[in-house]
Chain A
Amino acid sequence: MNSIRMYHILIWLIAGIIFGLLAIKDQSIHARLGNPSELTGYCLLVTIVFLAFFNIRKRLSMLPMIGKASTWFMLHTVGGFFVLAVYWLHTKTIWPTGMYEKSLAILFYLTVTSGIIGYLIQQIYPKLLTQTGVEVIFERIPLRISKLRQKAEETMLKCCNKSGVETLGKHYLDTLQWFFAEPRFTFQHLIGSQRSQQWIQHQDNAVRRYLNIDEQKYLNELSQLAYQKNIIDIHYTLQGAMKCWLLIHIPLTSALMLLSFWHFLVVNVYAL
């Protein structure tokens, strides 16, 4: 067991112990006719604020003393599950009754759900990306696609010029041009399907029988470029998904934070 794994287990363990102590304290306060919601509420608020700081930390990456992003991500993940448990401890119910409390619950659950989905994405997709054997910076994907398209068109033109036959050129215009135009098979890549590779293979097989040996060499090059493009597509899709889920998670967090502050205010005015 490596040290990182040990480190993760330790953080989970600490979170579990803190929650256990909190639950015991909650029960103790309840048994002494106190108001445990006050303790769990403030604990919940502090934890949510801490989780929200993860986004700010990303903007302050130039600061050396605030820890690694991976550590923050780990803390964010553990904190996310911790906050869900504390929420149930705080409300003592899965579904509250008041209108604004229901709204708060909806926002909370949506934020947590999007967070869990994001967590799963962050756990699964990097492994899939590693399996491609290629590293690509997301912002350079358009350039990479553009270069591959350029190479594919050059290859196709070379073939036509040398062989004097338009078979491969026509085939490219009918099928591969669409493929090289932009990232394709997005949904299939999201779900880990091999459909795109089958499609490339199918296009290869479909035209190969009509080509002579020289033309087949160009077809081989084209297929190689198509497979490279397919890998870039996988990167685009998976890296895009790893960014896109934040389009839901962060706005929800923003709304949740604001409504949590309102809850804090209302509770202090009306009940504490």
Chain B
Amino acid sequence: MTEKNHSDFDQSAYERPSNKYICGRAAEWGVPCRAGPNFDGTCGCVAECEPFFVNGRWECRRPQVDGGPCKNGPSPEGICGCTQSPCVPRRTMRWYRGRLSIIAAGIIVALLAAFTHLSNEKNIFSDGFRIGALDAGELTDGHTGFFETLECKTCHTAHESKLTTWLMAVITDSDVAITKACVNCHLFEGEATSPHNAVFPADKNIIKTECTICHNEHKGVSADISSLSDEQCASCHEKKFTNFSTGHSDFSEEFPYFRRTAINFDHTTHLTKYFQDERMKKDKRKPEDAPAECITCHQNESEERNIKPLGYEKICATCHTNQILKRKLVFLRLPEFNEPDIDREVAIELCGPNEDAEDENAEDYESVSVDEMSVITSYLMGLTPDDPEKYSKAFQNLMLGMMEDGISPLIEMLEENGVRLNANQLLTGLNPEAAKRMACAWAMNLEYELPASPAFGGWYGDLLEFIYQPNGHADIVIKRWLDFAVIAGGDNEEMIERAEVMREYLLSKKDGPGACVKCHAITRDKKEGKLRIEWQYHQNENSSYQSFSHQRHLRLVDPQGVKLSDPNQGCAKCHKLNADAAYDSSFEDYNPMTYSSNFISIEKKTCSQCHAKGRIREDCQLCHNYHKGFDFTDRVTRNKN
């Protein structure tokens, strides 16, 4: 049954499967025309042959496969004598395939055109629909707002630009442009494109980083776009290891107490001395008043790395408030004069007569004060405090000014001496009348008698001193004076020396006003930098690449029935007191990094007891953050507000 000689020219027809048409008769399962359809789709077999004119006559040229020359032969006009009615050729499957391919491509082009160009307000296509042609996936939850504002342009600068610009973006580096867009909203402590936002030594071969190296968007609303594998971390780090428990280097000797705390709170002395029964009895307190465990003073709820203390009022005020109230600031002190320079009549004119005043004509003048000037006045007036010859006239002029204008001369004195802070803040609450009365008394060579004791602190004159008494913790006037003290300086050696003396007085732990620096650390952040007082509790930011959740760890303790105060299983499991540490002395040199903590440093084995292979996670990102000082720019926070 297999066709023999099916390719011989005289045995079979010549098939043309690539033609666009097939014979209409074959399509209806009849005998197909021999020649098949023409290229234009018409029937090619109306005549069975095309007669050939030779030797003056027409010859039939019907092929052998169709029976050879016919009996009728061609007509004298050369027309085939065997004709038939034409068929209607049909399209081939190949033609349909080609046409479908063109249609499919056309549909894609049309859809892309519709998606990218047909959108405007008058069109049915919404913006969201239009973006569909470019939509590489949903943005994470925090970035979904972009779509409502600048759409793709928020990150992709080429979006909605001219066609030429758009196409030129093919050869530009999009990562750089996207990073620029990122830092429009995201803020870091260091350079955004520097690894870890840090500054590295020049000899280090550090590559520039772009945000897109680690963060890839368009992966869905809940996609995690900040996770890195340990291998990825290790790709940059010189020391490569596969897991924390066996590969990570040992923690440093200071870990995690690298930087001195803002508050000078000696845990050892408090726990072993002050909170012991004897000490509590001395302060007329019950032993039960002493903190029972760490979380009595440290809040442990919702805390991550830093267990923040509960604050002065809750944990310190009971014992320390009285100490604050006792420490007064002596602003002015009437010094000893050799002779009065203020004319008595002028004094009486400004202040009125004073019955207690000595007779103006008395032969021997004897100053009511035998003291020196206060160190503050000495610095502010630029005078030697113990040499009446030098300070007498200037100080009495100050007194005269106070008699005339109350506190105005004091403000001028502060401002003339380069007080950078607002002078009014240093004298907040000072009553000009009180200043005038005190100056009047001193002008008459009398001690100023306070009409009534101050009940709540504040400015008042008392005998030979003009005093400020703090009214409690965080007294704003005392804080301003101490801030003034740390920045006070001078143009010459004398002034610098006087500033130092004033600083010693104001910042004295033992006698300083307000007793502030007894607890608040004085810090110089840089070697040649200025001093500052750490008024606020600060997070442990020095090792900002590390993260730690106290909350998660503390949760593990309580459910097991172990109290946090348990010396072996509670907080002390990690934080062990170091009774030998020179804690207090580490506050003396103002350098926050020369720190001797009350606690023994934590070793790696403390963590690797649990964070080990087959136990609890030990990947890099569990404990380390990549970015330093991560925050948002005003652009974001403004919107939030």
The answer to whether the Cβ of B29 comes within 8 Å of any Cβ in the partner chain is: yes
A181 touches B29 (CB 8 A): yes
B108 to chain A: which residues have CB within 8 Å? Answer: 255, 258-259, 262
Which residue among A97, A243, A247 has the maximum number of chain B CB atoms within 10 Å of its CB?
A97
The answer to whether the Cβ of A32 comes within 8 Å of any Cβ in the partner chain is: yes
Report the bound CA distance from A127 to B101 in whole Å.
Answer: 30
Stretch at the interface among A41-49, A73-81, A140-148, A205-213: A140-148
Partner of B170, one of A146, A183, A257, A265: A265
Chain B nearest CB: distance from A107 CB in Å? 8
A254 touches B6 (CB 8 A): no
Stretch at the interface among A4-12, A14-22, A130-138, A186-194: A130-138
Q: Closest residue to B235 on the A side, CB-wise?
A: A32
> Interface size bucket, B side?
35 or more
Q: A137-B15, A140-B15, A272-B174 are in contact. Are A247 and B137 (CB under 8 A)?
A: no
A262 touches B29 (CB 8 A): no
Report the bound CA distance from A272 to B218 in whole Å.
Answer: 15
Chain B nearest CB: distance from A264 CB in Å? 9
For residues 221 through 248 of chain A, which have their beta carbon under 8 Å from a beta carbon of chain B?
Answer: 228, 231, 243-244, 246-247
The answer to whether the Cβ of B214 comes within 8 Å of any Cβ in the partner chain is: yes
Q: Closest residue to B100 on the A side, CB-wise?
A: A251
Q: Closest residue to B93 on the A side, CB-wise?
A: A243
Report the bound CA distance from A183 to B26 in whole Å.
Answer: 12
Contact with A along B257-280 (1 / 0, CB 8 A): 000000000000000000000000
The answer to whether the Cβ of B96 comes within 8 Å of any Cβ in the partner chain is: yes
B134 touches A254 (CB 8 A): no
Contact with A along B192-234 (1 / 0, CB 8 A): 0000000000000000010011100011100000001101101
Stretch at the interface among B151-159, B315-323, B382-390: B151-159
Partner of B29, one of A35, A182, A266: A182
Question: Number of A-B pairs whose CB atoms are under 8 Å?
Answer: 147
A142 touches B169 (CB 8 A): no
Q: A31-B229, A271-B174 are in contact. Are A244 and B93 (CB under 8 A)?
A: yes
Report the bound CA distance from A181 to B30 in whole Å.
Answer: 9
For residues 464 through 510 of chain B, which have their beta carbon under 8 Å from a beta carbon of chain A?
Answer: none
B23 to chain A: which residues have CB within 8 Å? Answer: 142
A98 touches B100 (CB 8 A): no
The answer to whether the Cβ of A214 comes within 8 Å of any Cβ in the partner chain is: no
A135 touches B2 (CB 8 A): yes
The answer to whether the Cβ of B409 comes within 8 Å of any Cβ in the partner chain is: no
Partner of B15, one of A99, A139, A145: A139
Q: A33-B235, A101-B136 are in contact. Are A142 and B30 (CB under 8 A)?
A: yes
Q: Closest residue to A93 on the B side, CB-wise?
A: B219
Chain A nearest CB: distance from B197 CB in Å? 16
B232 touches A247 (CB 8 A): no
Q: Closest residue to A150 on the B side, CB-wise?
A: B31
For residues 1 through 33 of chain B, which have their beta carbon under 8 Å from a beta carbon of chain A?
Answer: 1-3, 6, 12-13, 15, 17, 22-23, 25-27, 29-32
Q: Closest residue to B168 on the A side, CB-wise?
A: A269
B96 touches A270 (CB 8 A): no
Q: Closest residue to B214 on the A side, CB-wise?
A: A33
The answer to whether the Cβ of A170 comes within 8 Å of any Cβ in the partner chain is: no
Which residue among A134, A262, A265 has the maximum number of chain B CB atoms within 10 Å of its CB?
A262
For residues 70 through 96 of chain A, which have their beta carbon under 8 Å from a beta carbon of chain B?
Answer: 96
For residues 114 through 139 of chain B, which have their beta carbon under 8 Å from a beta carbon of chain A?
Answer: 115, 131-138
Report the bound CA distance from A12 to B131 in whole Å.
Answer: 41
The answer to whether the Cβ of A100 comes within 8 Å of any Cβ in the partner chain is: yes
Partner of A31, one of B131, B218, B232: B232
B174 touches A139 (CB 8 A): no
The answer to whether the Cβ of B282 comes within 8 Å of any Cβ in the partner chain is: no
The answer to whether the Cβ of A116 comes within 8 Å of any Cβ in the partner chain is: no
Q: A31-B235, A254-B104, A259-B108 are in contact. Are A97 and B220 (CB under 8 A)?
A: yes
B135 to chain A: which residues have CB within 8 Å? Answer: 98-101
A268 touches B93 (CB 8 A): no
Q: Closest residue to B139 on the A side, CB-wise?
A: A97
A121 to chain B: which residues have CB within 8 Å? Answer: none
Q: Closest residue to B169 on the A side, CB-wise?
A: A269
Chain B nearest CB: distance from A162 CB in Å? 26
Report the bound CA distance from A19 to B115 in whole Å.
Answer: 35
The answer to whether the Cβ of B97 comes within 8 Å of any Cβ in the partner chain is: yes
Partner of B159, one of A34, A182, A270: A270
Report the bound CA distance from A246 to B152 in whole Å.
Answer: 39
Chain A nearest CB: distance from B247 CB in Å? 16
What are 16 A-B pairs at a CB distance below 8 A?
Answer: A33-B209, A99-B133, A101-B136, A135-B3, A137-B6, A138-B17, A142-B26, A142-B29, A146-B32, A182-B29, A250-B97, A250-B100, A251-B103, A257-B105, A258-B105, A269-B167
The chain A residues found within 8 Å of chain B, CB to CB, are 30-35, 96-101, 133-140, 142-143, 145-147, 149, 181-183, 228, 231, 243-244, 246-247, 250-255, 257-259, 262, 265-266, 268-272
The chain B residues found within 8 Å of chain A, CB to CB, are 1-3, 6, 12-13, 15, 17, 22-23, 25-27, 29-32, 93, 96-97, 100-105, 107-109, 112, 115, 131-138, 152, 156, 158-159, 166-167, 169-170, 173-175, 178, 209, 212-214, 218-220, 228-229, 231-232, 234-236
Closest 5 pairs between A and B when the two form their complex, measured CB to CB: A97-B137, A142-B26, A99-B132, A98-B137, A31-B231
Besides A99-B135, A133-B1, A270-B169, 6 other A-B contacts (C-beta < 8 A): A30-B232, A133-B2, A135-B2, A146-B32, A231-B1, A270-B158
